[in-house]
Structure 1
Amino acid sequence: MKKSMIVGAVLGAVGVTAGGALATYQWAGDREPKFATVLDVSPVKETQRTPRQVCRDVAVTHQRPVQDQHQIAGTAIGAVVGGLLGNQVGGGSGKKLATVAGAVGGGYVGNKAQERMQASDTYITTETRCETVQDTHEKVVGYDVSYELGGQHGRVRMDRDPGAQIPVRDGQLVLAEQP
């Protein structure tokens, strides 16, 4: 009887051990992975533009307002001086012709002299000139992640870099961090 008890005990222990091993094997075999393996992470960037105003002071040349727009003073003074000079030349009727020619020529020269003087009568002011420029910079808006889960490859966009693994719950990737 001792022998049959020992054999029974041994067979019972073997049966319990085999049953436990089988149950553990089935339990472990039915379990899904807890993590997907990350294969590649690529940041997704977006170029953002920010307008800003840039101002600088510049020197601006202005022409002074002209008081004698038709250069009458220059023409008159030139005609008088030219007439006086023409009167000094020649004699008789030639003198009259020289006086008239001197007055006409002097009037023209006086007109042009006053025109040049008025054109060069300028002043300089400093003015602020502004323009809008665009500053650009790149901002990471997400991450394209390639992963492997249970022998299958997939791709997903995430708001953060997941590192080497992505958690899995109920066969689904856990993409958002839990509080």
Structure 2
Amino acid sequence: MPRVNIAAEADLIEQLENEAKKRGYTIYSLTNAALKALLKLLKEGEDANTLESLVDYYTISKALDIVPVTSWFLENLTKLAYEKDNKQYENMCEEVGEQIGSFLRSKASTLDELFDFYNAIKIALPIRNVSIKNTGDMIEFRITGTGFSLISTLCAGKIFSKIAEAYDLSIQDVDVVPGGIVTIKAKANLK
């Protein structure tokens, strides 16, 4: 098969060459692997930026030991857990929020950085949208696509509240609506 030249930023090629040498790859094999993955995404109708988002999402999934399961499974599991012991269920949701909040804070130290991080990976997340509105001393977050039932949306509200607390926000109100809509109102803690 004939080879062709591909244009890329010099700094990017230099970094790729360094990583290839460290791992025993050739530039040829790495560029072919990357181009095959990108081609698959494009044929599926995805945007070229999806590849980078998927890599970032993979890194997060690996760091947090996330196991992919269907939303149907999660919805039914949350219902069973809530019916068995609703207080323990809510505590577990809060603990997950603390874990994720701690991880995110280590990757993005400010809310602006967190939203940049979210925007980089949102295409790979089941969450449909996150919006933020600043009204004086109050910050309102609206998160959509966090579950179907009231029980799973309640858990999402607890998780996102703990993530907000990881960013030194004091939660004033959490409103959850079946269908996966969470609204959180918070104030910045003054230090």
TM-score higher than 0.5 here?
A: no
- If asked which structure has higher relative contact order (CA below 8 Å, sep 6+), I would say 1
Structure that is richer in strand per residue: 1
Greater radius of gyration (CA): 1
Task: Tell me which protein shows more helix as a share of its residues.
Answer: 2
TM-score (norm 1): 0.17
